[in-house]
Amino acid sequence: MTSGPPEQRCYRHPEREAYISCQRCERPICPQCMNDASVGFQCPECVKEGAKSVRAPRTMAGGRLSADTGRVTLGLIAVNVVVFLLQLATGDSDGVVFREGAMLGGTAATLDGDVLTGVADGGYWRLVTAAFLHAGVLHLAFNMIALYLFGPFVERALGAARFLVAYLAMAVVSSVFVYVLTPPFTPTVGASGAVFGLIAFALVLLVKARQDVSQLLVLLAINVALSFRDGVSWQGHLGGFVAGFVLAASVAYVPRERRQAAQVGVLALLAVASVVAVVLRTAALTG
């Protein structure tokens, strides 16, 4: 059997006969290379080229839209649970994980006879680690339930990467407020500062979308009232809420084409303000 002319051979598989041409580039293709198109068939290269011209869906913040929304939230919950188990395994509030991770401001802070490195003495890691420690099972449970309720909503609006950055930023700003406004030898822990930031974020987005926020306001009012109970850090809650509100405004009330620049600018502003506040507070504590 003689082979057909070159133009009747698949351009990707010269050994195979081609009975049809790509609708886009008009090159002959074999059945294996045929991809359904709106009209006729297209070759794999043309399909790839066409996909490049299709604008990928984006979140309202400009991030990539994930089909698995909520995975970062679940990851944060898992990290909090694992850290809590490590905390329990090492002696809970008397153990090294809690004592070296809790928010503590004072220089060469003395806590129950142990000398610990506070933020003023260079323990800057506490600004982050404190948000992943908790003062008991109920404390952890309440914060994780709130994170599960509000996290996926904000994550859907921001995208996975932006959500993680925003969460950590709210956690750090919360710790900075604690550092500045709380007595230096008061250990403070919990994800509630970041959770308050998520509540603020959700509130701004819902107001922007003209949704009914009455129930959310009632929930916020209850949590604000609880923030002034003994043993609860209203300072951390306030810091997280302020950070969440400002970050949400940069997403909801800035034109789409300027949102990325606005978000970077707000994050930079929060970072600079946090550094200045930490430096000034440290100077005040160390004299």
Contact indicator for 133, 83 with CB cutoff of 8 Å: yes
Quote the tokens at residue 239. Answer: 């810091």
Position 20 pLDDT exceeds 90 = no
Query: Which CATH number is 147's domain given?
Result: 1.20.1540.10
State whether 113 and 218 are in the same domain.
Answer: yes
Number of other residues whose CB lies within 10 A of the CB of residue 207: 14
Q: How far apart are CA 51 and CA 88, in angstroms?
A: 51
Number of other residues whose CB lies within 10 A of the CB of residue 102: 23
Residues 32-48: pLDDT tens digits? 888 887 777 888 888 88
pTM value is 0.77
State whether 84 and 147 are in the same domain.
Answer: yes
State whether 180 and 49 are in the same domain.
Answer: no
Outline where the chain has alpha helix (H). Answer: 44-53, 71-89, 96-101, 126-129, 137-158, 160-181, 192-208, 214-226, 234-252, 259-286
Residues 207-265: pLDDT tens digits? 998 898 999 999 999 989 988 888 889 999 999 999 999 999 998 888 888 888 999 99
Q: How far apart are CA 224 and CA 89, in angstroms?
A: 32
Which residues are designated catalytic? 192, 237
Position 5 pLDDT exceeds 70 = no
Average pLDDT, the chain: 87
Q: Is residue 67 part of a domain?
A: no
Q: Is residue 119 part of a domain?
A: yes
Residues 70-94: pLDDT tens digits? 899 999 999 999 999 999 999 998 8
Q: Is residue 88 part of a domain?
A: yes
Contact indicator for 193, 130 with CB cutoff of 8 Å: no
State whether 38 and 77 are in the same domain.
Answer: no
Contact indicator for 134, 190 with CB cutoff of 8 Å: yes
Domain that holds residue 127: 73-286
Q: Is residue 59 part of a domain?
A: no
